[in-house]
C-alpha cells in the first residue's frame, strides 16, 4: 500500500516533467540548432510542439525553408537566408525575454516570407514577359 502511495506522489509531482520530456528538445529550447534540418523535419517538429507560438515559429521556418529551396536566382534566396540568420543570431540580444523573442521571430518570419513571395512572383512575371529565344 505504501508503494502505491509513493508511486502516486511521484507521478503527481513529477508527472509534469515526464509529460514535458515527450516534447522534442527543439520545442523547449529557442536556441536549438535547426539549420541542418529540412522543411519536412521542421514541419514535424512544429506539429509536436505544445506551445502555440513555438509551433508557429517552426511552421514558419519550415515554409520559409521550403519556399527558398532551389531558388538561387540572382542571390534572392541567399539574401533572405542571410537576413533571417542575422535576425535569429541577434534576437537573443534584442529580446532577452523568451516570449518577446518568440513573438519577434514569428513576426520577422512572416514579413520575410511575404517579401520572398513577392520577389519570387515578380521574377516569375519578369521571366514570362521576356521574349522567347528561337532556336
Residue whose cell numbers read 532577452? 96
What's the pLDDT band for 73 if we cut at 50, 70, 90?
Answer: low
For residue 104, give the nearest of 118, 92, 116, 117 by alpha carbon. 92
The whole domain housing 85 covers 27-129
Task: Assign 18 a pLDDT band (cuts: 50, 70, 90).
Answer: very low
Q: How distant, in Å, are the alpha carbons of 9, 14, 20, 82, 101 from that of 48?
A: 28, 21, 11, 27, 20
16 domain residue, yes or no: no
Please tell me the total count of domains within the chain.
Answer: 1
Residue 20 covered by a domain: no
**If you ran DSSP here, which 8-state letter would residue 74 be given?**
G
- Contact yes or no for 105/91 (Cβ under 8 A): yes
**Nearby residues of 77 by Cβ (< 8 Å), 6 or more positions away:** 68, 71, 116
Neighbour count for residue 100 (Cβ, 10 Å)? 12
Question: Is the pTM of the predicted complex or chain greater than 0.95?
Answer: no
Asked whether residue 15 is assigned to any structural domain, the reply reads: no
Which range is least confidently modeled, 19-23, 29-33, 54-58, 119-123? 19-23
Please check whether residue 18 lies inside any domain of the structure. Answer: no
Handedness of CA 11, 16, 17, 23 (dihedral sign): positive
Task: Write out pLDDT tens, residues 34-55.
Answer: 888 888 888 888 889 998 999 9
**Residue 100 placed within a domain:** yes
pLDDT category of residue 99 using cuts at 50, 70 and 90: very high
The three-point CA angle 103-108-114 to 5° equals: 130
Backbone angles phi, psi at 80, to 5 degrees: -70, -40
- 5 falls within a domain: no
Looking at the domain assignment, is residue 3 inside a domain? no
Domain assignment present for 50 = yes
Q: What is the mean pLDDT of the chain?
A: 79
Amino acid at each position: 500500500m505504501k508503494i502505491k502511495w509513493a508511486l502516486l506522489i511521484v507521478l503527481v509531482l513529477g508527472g509534469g516533467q515526464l509529460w514535458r520530456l515527450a516534447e522534442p528538445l527543439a520545442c523547449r529550447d529557442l536556441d536549438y540548432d535547426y539549420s541542418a534540418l529540412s522543411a519536412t523535419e521542421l514541419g514535424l517538429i512544429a506539429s509536436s510542439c505544445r506551445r502555440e507560438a513555438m509551433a508557429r515559429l517552426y511552421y514558419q521556418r519550415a515554409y520559409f525553408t521550403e519556399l527558398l529551396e532551389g531558388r538561387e536566382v540572382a542571390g534572392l534566396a541567399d539574401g533572405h537566408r542571410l537576413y533571417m540568420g542575422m535576425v535569429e543570431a541577434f534576437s537573443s540580444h534584442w529580446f532577452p525575454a523568451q516570449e518577446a523573442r518568440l513573438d519577434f521571430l514569428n513576426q520577422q518570419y512572416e514579413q520575410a516570407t511575404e517579401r520572398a513571395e513577392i520577389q519570387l512572383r515578380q521574377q516569375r512575371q519578369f521571366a514570362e514577359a521576356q521574349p522567347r529565344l528561337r532556336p
